[in-house]
Amino acid sequence: MAQDTYANDVLVTADWVEDRLEAFQSDDPEHRLLEVDVDTEAYDEAHAPGAIGLNWETQLQDQTQRDILEKEDLEELLGSHGITEDSTIVLYGDNSNWFAAYTYWQLKYYGHREVYLLDGGRDYWLANEYPTTTEEPSFPEQEYNARGPFDGIRAYREDVENAIERGIPLVDVRSPEEFSGEILAPPGLQETAQRGGHIPGAQNVGWAETVNDDGTFKSREELQELYESNDVTDDQEVVAYCRIGERSSIAWFALHELLGYEDVTNYDGSWTEWGNLVGAPVEKGE
């Protein structure tokens, strides 16, 4: 499926998806294609045939607790779209798969086995003129039974505190301006924290450094060089974070899935939590 020799076969190419569009449009739940964006406006304009559109903000997180979905809520969401725990799910989305990678991570948290990312995401699909439609598919409802949760890939506040104390690598994937505390959020996006800066000891390895200009992931060798040059190696635990947990999912995917690092967690509370905590240590500057 993948076009490179990564540690795990977790990427599919646009050609691979195009060759299976008929399967993705079938009522048979064996294959399902999901486009995940911060909203569904882009999906409404054009999407891959058979793709189910999911809104990351309103459908893939708890609206009261600002947390990932409870198991039963995920089961209900996926089942309502004709997905079972045995379906082969391919995810893609905007911003070089920010929210698709977050969804991938959430599905792995709940133990879904056959899940993949479309390398390059929505922009790659459109830029290379693969088929699109405005038709929204409707599939027969299925029963979805999630496993887990598997907390081994998720970091909580106390895990970050322990990481600071023990000198465990923290990978901050935000922009240099966010990392330094100059700004609180990417331009045009909502500011979700009271304070700017970064978690003490964190290395700033931007998510964009993991992908090529066309949004596809860099080679295994390039990714390994990127992280090892920032002292992020596979002989220790690693914690990735960003502002709301979506960009750090890209880093988690690159480290855990593509490079095969064994002990990588995504701190999905990220700066929205840490930057609002009373008394939490914060560093500013580069």
Bridge pairing between strands 67-68 and 61-62: antiparallel
Q: Which residues pair with 35 in a beta bridge?
A: 53, 92
DSSP class of residue 160 equals H
Residues contacting residue 166 through CB under 8 Å, at least 6 positions apart: none
Bridge pairing between strands 51-55 and 31-37: parallel
Q: Which residues pair with 127 in a beta bridge?
A: none
Structure tokens at 162: 């322990």
Q: d(Cα 252, Cα 137) in Å, to the nearest integer?
A: 31
Report yes or no: 266 and 237 within 8 Å, Cβ to Cβ.
no
Q: d(Cα 124, Cα 122) in Å, to the nearest integer?
A: 5
Cβ atoms < 10 Å from Cβ of 71: 17
In the block, residue with structure tokens 């990564």: 6
Active site residues: 242
| CA 220 from centroid of its chain's CA atoms | 18
Distances (CA, A) of 267 to 119, 144, 153, 176: 23, 26, 9, 19
